[in-house]
Structure 1
């Protein structure tokens, strides 16, 4: 496994080493993914760890605490210093305060309203809840999940800074922030990273966010690098999603786009075969080699998927092969 380091320029020798393939535990929580099998999710994280994936990204909202509990169970026998826990704050399903995000259903089918809220008192509570569910006394990277328009960035970052001073958090990160938001946040705290969506078919961050991160030495944590399964080559037109699977409403999964994506994936299939790799592994390897991309967060519903994801880092792509994939990708146009 390849590792990349997030540094803290304000504290000499203080850094955070993350596995380039980081286990994304959204699907493990079941929420918006059609449920989950806890035993399989725990096994997936454990097998992934033994394959070298030592970093795990989760969030309270994923299954309304379930994902964090699963992560905590999976790592309880692992030396704490050998694993890196990334979690988030700022999405409340148990408090109607802040910026309304969406109406949804929990894993039992109960209707819930979710708010983006990152006030100081909420962050302190969420941190304590996360530590309890994860079974640990510190979080390696603590990230605001989504911008909260009702709370100043200054208040939010000062709260995280307090948690860092208390030793409950090591590094501060953000998710889904623009470059301008990052710049403001960095004026209040030593900001380590931004977790943002990035994949072959979603490269918007290359315009402003990536250049900012490169020039200011910030890490980019790319989530949905396989675009929620779209770039594995396993999804065909007419694919049936369960009623609570969020992908059914995304334009990426329209039949016309599935056809176009699969046409592109067919073109790089031969290269994947030459590398003795799956298409998904080839896609992941290409993704983490893009300028400014530090790590890729990849979900897995079971151990087989987790091990396949980890093995993507065993592939070597020459500059010519990278250029070939990129050239073929330029021909892919999706319908919105």
Structure 2
């Protein structure tokens, strides 16, 4: 496993960080707590010391699972990364969308990052995680109803209180990162980035490179699309958000699988899976500090961890990038 510093802080995260969204079950159909715990612990045994979660993932379920998993780990060897700013239990702030919790109950999701809400959320996260501090605390989505300075001042108070070590953001534009950074040092920006979703290369990633901000890439396997295991007639479990996601339309699946079949010989030559090749490409991509990879079980988690050792030459990267140009130009 490789480890990289986050921004100009002393905090180091494993280049493959365990993404615990699916572990919470919400929007993924279901979850098996025991399998999820074993997945996190198996990753740790292979060097995945960093775990990214959020209160909204299963409305506390994911954080509880992470908390259960890290009980068996030395706390000073684990980096807990979580978020704030998405409320399902408070109708305040910017309305996000309607959803259902894991029991099927209708819930409204709000983006809210007011000071009192952040303080409350932090306390709840600490309880669920079973720890007294969070290594990297990130706003989950921008909240248009709360001034950025109020949000960052709240996080600053949590840092001063010793409950948070460092501050990050998620899904922020370059302008929003700049504004937040004027109040509180921002170490990182967690953004969606994958072989099929690369719009962040236009502005956000260049800004982060220029200003020393780490980029935490989420959904680098594009929710499983880039594993090669999704077919045009794939049937998703009830409640799985991918069923209506544009990247899982028959056309996109077909196009993506054509691309994956063209780079599979490279994966075979290196004796790695397509997923490992994709994750290896991601963590070698300019400006990408770490890749968040989810896993439903221990085998998937170990496979993700091993992708940190995949090395691509400049020629191999160019080969993949050339095939990606064909994919994005296809109709």
Give the Cα separation in 1 of the matches to 2:102 and 2:274: 31
Partner residue in 1 for 2:201: 206
- 1:225-257 residue CA offsets vs partner (Å, 9 max, x unmatched): 000000000100011112310011111000011
Residues 1:328 and 2:323 are matched in the alignment: yes
Partner residue in 2 for 1:225: 220
Partner residue in 2 for 1:300: 295
Structure 1 stretches lacking a partner, 5+ long: 9-13
Give the Cα separation in 1 of the matches to 2:92 and 2:177: 24
Could you say if the C-alpha distance between residues 151 and 157 of structure 1 is closer, same or farther in structure 2, counting changes exceeding 3 Å?
same
- 1:43-97 residue CA offsets vs partner (Å, 9 max, x unmatched): 0000000000000000000000000000000001211110000000000000000
Give the Cα separation in 2 of the matches to 1:21 and 1:319: 21
* Deviation, structure 1 residue 314: 1.8
Partner residue in 2 for 1:174: 169
**1:132-281 → structure 2 map (5 Å cutoff):** 132-281=127-276
**1:2-17 → structure 2 map (5 Å cutoff):** 2-8=2-8, 14-17=9-12
Give the Cα separation in 2 of the matches to 1:277 and 1:7: 30
Partner residue in 2 for 1:11: none
Pairwise CA RMSD of aligned residues? 1.1
Q: TM-score, normalised by structure 1?
A: 0.97
Partner residue in 1 for 2:106: 111
Give the Cα separation in 1 of the matches to 2:254 and 2:87: 37
Q: Check whether the contact 1:72–1:134 (CA below 8 A) recurs between aligned residues.
A: yes
Give the Cα separation in 1 of the matches to 2:10 and 2:309: 25
* Deviation, structure 1 residue 333: 2.5
Moved over 3 A (4+): none
Could you say if the C-alpha distance between residues 198 and 208 of structure 1 is closer, same or farther in structure 2, counting changes exceeding 3 Å?
same
Partner residue in 1 for 2:311: 316
Give the Cα separation in 2 of the matches to 1:335 and 1:23: 32
Number of aligned residue pairs: 331
Give the Cα separation in 2 of the matches to 1:166 and 1:308: 38
* Deviation, structure 1 residue 209: 0.3
Select which of 93, 96, 116 maps to 1:121.
116
Give the Cα separation in 2 of the matches to 1:231 and 1:79: 33
Q: Check whether the contact 2:7–2:188 (CA below 8 A) recurs between aligned residues.
A: no
Residues 1:85 and 2:87 are matched in the alignment: no
Partner residue in 2 for 1:64: 59
* SS in structure 1 of the partner of residue 11 of structure 2: strand
